[in-house]
Structure 1
Amino acid sequence: MADAALLSPRDPAWTEALDRVRHDIYHIPEYVRLDAGLTGATPVAYRYDEAGRVFLLPLLLRPVPGTDLQDAISPYGYPGPVGSADAAFWSRATATMTEVLCTEGVVTAFARLHPLLPGCREVLAGSGTVVQHGETVSIDLTLGPDELWSQTHRSHRNQINKAKRAGVEIVFDDWDLFDDWIGTYHATMRRVGATDFYFFGADHFHRLRAAVDKHVHLAVATLDGQVLGGNLFFEYAGMMHTHLQSTADGPIHYADKLLYHEVRMWGRARNNHIYHLGGGVGGTADSLFRYKSQFAAGRQRFHTWRVITDRGNYEKLSGPPTPESMTGRFPPYR
């Protein structure tokens, strides 16, 4: 017998499913609930069970303006589907997901796939559209310090050494510096012209720390008592992810390079096996990607998955689906 449901973060079946499959911090209910609060969305997880196997996908349900419909999107980060490794099982799980979401008035679903966790991507392509956006960068923390250093581009190595000679220090988990770091984050967002969404308030950051507790860490770069920037990062099940990195306005003495270097050494010392830096904006091979790529040789492909769960209402909103509408901005009615 198969069973499928949409779970709330309070439902113990969500955590129980995660106990049975390899997953990351982006899948836990505390993280998904916090992320939903940024936009007023409803946090849920689609769970499918069959013969001792389980499939789970966290989603945020959002009202479609001007209608009584909803659509679904991933939380921020990489919370793609996770589940028992069986292509036929995934096929049944995804087909049933379409039915369940349609019954709940959900028109489309959009999910960011996890670059580090294996999944049945060919099955997802059969039940929707999978789009490859580019590559992400990762650091193999099982390598020795000399190999990690040799994989670092010579310009980054030179600037890391300059930061050390200038007296820049990296402090870990001194939460008395959290508000100062938040100030550097907002300064960074102003410099890059970020949209309003990315100007997370201090209250959000403090709720994030409370929600995921021991899995979030803060590395802060200081010089003569001044905060130059920092790296807010996750550590979960041997995987590390930079969540947000920032630098203050003014001279920073290459503190950004030293931050990445010291965070990877910290992670290696704690027996983590991979540090995921992410990619460029929108998964493109832009200057941000090139900057990250000069820290390590690890590369993973980044994909998104797009599904029409209610074709009739989708066509009322956007017309018949086309290859362009399925691979471009999705859903197109947004």
Structure 2
Amino acid sequence: MINEITIHQEREWKQIVLKSLDYDSYHTWQYHNLTKDGNPVLLVYYEGDDFIALPLLKRNIPNSELFDMTSVYGYTGPLSNLKFDALPLQMKENFKRELIIYFKINKIVSVFSRLNPFLAQLPLMGTFQGVHDNGNGVVIDLHQSLEAQRSKYESTLLKQIRKVKKLGFSVQDSKNPEAIKEFADIYTENMKRVGATDYYMFTEEYFKNFLNSMDFHSKLIMVYHEGNAVCGGIVLFTQKIIQSHLSATRTSYLKFSPAKLLTDEISQLGRQLGMRYFNLGGGLGFNKDSLFDFKSSFSDIYYDYKTWRYISDPENYLRLILKANIDPDNAVDFFPLYRYPNNNKNEVEVKVLTNSYS
């Protein structure tokens, strides 16, 4: 059977994560406790001392007694104390069966999970229908020397970074209240400029709580010019992986591209901390757009980004689509399709997780 650990069971959630062979910041109890969307649960299947766990957010489907599930903003997917490619076939089949039963009992119509490209989860998730290709992301390999890394930069990139430094731009690592307030101001301005919805608006208090979490290691890296904060990024450090979580640049300084200096400096910090990879993410919707071009100017190493889009109750899924006056054959890249008219939260799952360096 599936054991459901709720967000109120902090100790149990943390124990599962710490017992997992590999995990990311996005799997932790604190990260889920800070979410603004849905009720976090950790679904755990045991066989003896071994387990498979899947963190999700349970949401009520408006005007119904039905539910669906999604994942937090970030790269999650399943956890286990075993390597996914070493899981016994019978254990994988048993987990699949019990999870489907859980969905049925709890009236779950559909499930969405962003898979983690660094945790090799496909040997397990490939047993389900609904694993979806979402394009490519960009990663910097920090095991190579800094000289080798920079040799792969786009031809003018290093020159631009050096020019910005000569103009007096500098980088600081700080979590003091003033720096957090400055980042919150820049981030809010950035989100308004790009037309982000309320879902992506975070308060200064949220950033304070996030950066002071004990569940994961985070840093706020700021870029200054003549004493003014002009750019910044929150980065997460977990099990040799740096995740570029949130970043923003003041509109008046976009022409200087301080984010290029920021990225280069974070890669150097990662080396000092013994990290293996620096994940820059992908373009908007993981398409090969101008944002992807910016990120790929730092590295020629790409990874495949995948999501799990599972319809657990096809009958009600279709009924909800028709109830929302949506064509079931609509080819829009949106899941679950019946939430498409809302167009205001993280249901545009594949279109928002970009680790933007705007």
Distance, in Å, in 2 between the alignment partners of 1:53 and 1:327 is: 40
Please state whether the residue corresponding to 1:57 is helix, strand or coil.
Answer: strand
Tell me what 1:183 maps to. 185
Q: In the alignment, is the contact (CA less than 8 A) between 1:4 and 1:46 conserved in 2?
A: yes
After TM superposition, give the deviation of residue 149 of structure 1 in Å. 0.9
For residue 90 of structure 1, what is the aligned residue in structure 2? Answer: 92
Structure 1: 5+ residue stretches without partners: none
Amino acid at match of 1:22: D
TM-score by length of 2: 0.85
Aligned-residue offset at 1:210: 3.1
Q: How does 1:142-161 map to 2 (within 5 A)?
A: 142-161=143-162
Corresponding residue number in structure 2 for 1:129: 130
Q: Secondary structure at the match of 1:190?
A: helix
Deviation at 1:114, TM superposition (A): 0.5
Q: In 1, are the aligned partners of 2:28 and 2:216 still within 8 Å (CA)? A: no
Q: Deviations over 1:220-243 (max 9, x none)?
A: 000111011111111111111111
Q: Residues 280 and 289 of structure 1 are in contact (CA less than 8 Å); yes or no, is this contact kept in structure 2? A: yes
| CA–CA separation in structure 2 for the residues paired with 1:82 and 1:297 | 29
**Could you tell me how far apart the structure 2 residues matched to 1:235 and 1:148 are?**
20
Aligned residue in 2 for 1:109: 111
Q: Secondary structure at the match of 2:34?
A: helix
Matched to 1:233, the amino acid is V
User: What SS does structure 2 have at the residue aligned with 1:115?
Assistant: coil
How far did residue 288 of structure 1 move? 0.8
**Alpha-carbon offset, residue 209 of structure 1:** 2.0
Residues 134-173 of structure 1, C-alpha deviation per residue, up to 9 Å, x if partnerless? 0111111111110111111122211101111111110002
8 Å contact kept, 2:211–2:220 = no
Stretches of structure 2 lacking an aligned partner (at least 5 in a row): 340-358
Secondary structure, counterpart of 2:334 in structure 1: coil
What is the 5 A alignment of 1:166-177? 166-175=167-176, 176-177=178-179
Deviation at 1:207, TM superposition (A): 2.3
More displaced, 78-87 or 221-230?
A: 78-87
Deviation at 1:75, TM superposition (A): 0.5
Residue 128 of structure 1 contacts residue 307 of structure 1 at CA under 8 Å; is this kept in 2? yes
Q: Distance in 1 between matches of 2:5 and 2:332?
A: 29
Give the conservation status (yes or no) of the 8 Å contact 2:57–2:69: yes
1:58 corresponds to which letter in structure 2?
P
**TM-score when normalising by structure 1:** 0.91
Q: 1:304 aligned to 2:302? A: no
Find out whether 1:45 has 2:42 as its counterpart.
yes
State the SS of the aligned residue for 2:69: strand
Does 1:280 pair with 2:279?
A: no
**Structure 1 contact 160–258 (Cα < 8 Å) conserved:** yes
Identity of aligned residues (%): 28
| Paired residue secondary structure (1:23) | coil
**Cα deviation, residue 323, structure 1:** 9.6
CA apart distance, 1:251: 2.9
SS in 2 for 1:177: helix
The correspondence of residues 115-264 of structure 1 with structure 2, limited to 5 A, is: 115-121=117-123, 123-175=124-176, 176-212=178-214, 215-251=217-253, 253-264=256-267
Q: Which amino acid aligns with 2:66?
A: L
- Of 44-53 and 69-78, more deviation after overlay is shown by 44-53
Q: Deviations over 1:243-276 (max 9, x none)?
A: 1111112135331100000011001111111111
Contact 1:172–1:218 (CA<8 Å) still a contact in 2?
yes
Q: Report SS of the residue matched to 1:76.
A: coil
Kindly provide the amino acid, as one letter, of the partner of residue 223 in structure 1: H
Code of the residue aligned with 2:232 in structure 1: it is G
- Once the two structures are superposed, the pairs formed by residues 15-30 of structure 1 within 5 Å of their partners are 15-18=14-17, 19-30=19-30
Residue number in structure 1 paired with 2:353? none
Say yes or no: does 1:60 pair with 2:48. no
Is 1:73 aligned with 2:75? no
Q: 1:279-333 CA deviation, whole Å, 9 max, x = no partner?
A: 11112111111110111122110011011223343233236xx996798311111
Specify whether residues 5 and 213 from structure 1 end up closer, same or farther in structure 2 by C-alpha distance, changes over 3 A only: closer
| CA-atom RMSD in angstroms | 2.1
Contact 1:99 1:309 in 2 (8 A): no
Equivalent AA in structure 1 for residue 279 of structure 2: H
* 2: CA distance, partners of 1:236 / 1:20: 13
* Shift in CA distance, 154/206, structure 1 to aligned 2, threshold 3 Å: same
Code of the residue aligned with 1:51 in structure 2: it is: G
Instruction: Work out whether residues 26 and 78 of structure 1, in 8 Å CA contact, stay in contact via their aligned partners in 2.
Output: yes
Q: SS in structure 1 opposite 2:119?
A: coil
SS in structure 1 at match of 2:253: coil
Match for residue 13 of structure 2? 14
Structure 2 equivalent of residue 266 of structure 1:
269
Tell me if the contact between 2:114 and 2:306 (Cα under 8 Å) persists in the aligned partners.
yes
Taking the aligned partners of 1:120 and 1:213, their CA distance within structure 2 comes to: 26
Instruction: Flag the 1:317–1:125 CA change in 2: closer, same or farther, 3 A.
Output: farther
Which residue identity lines up with residue 329 of structure 1 in the other structure? F
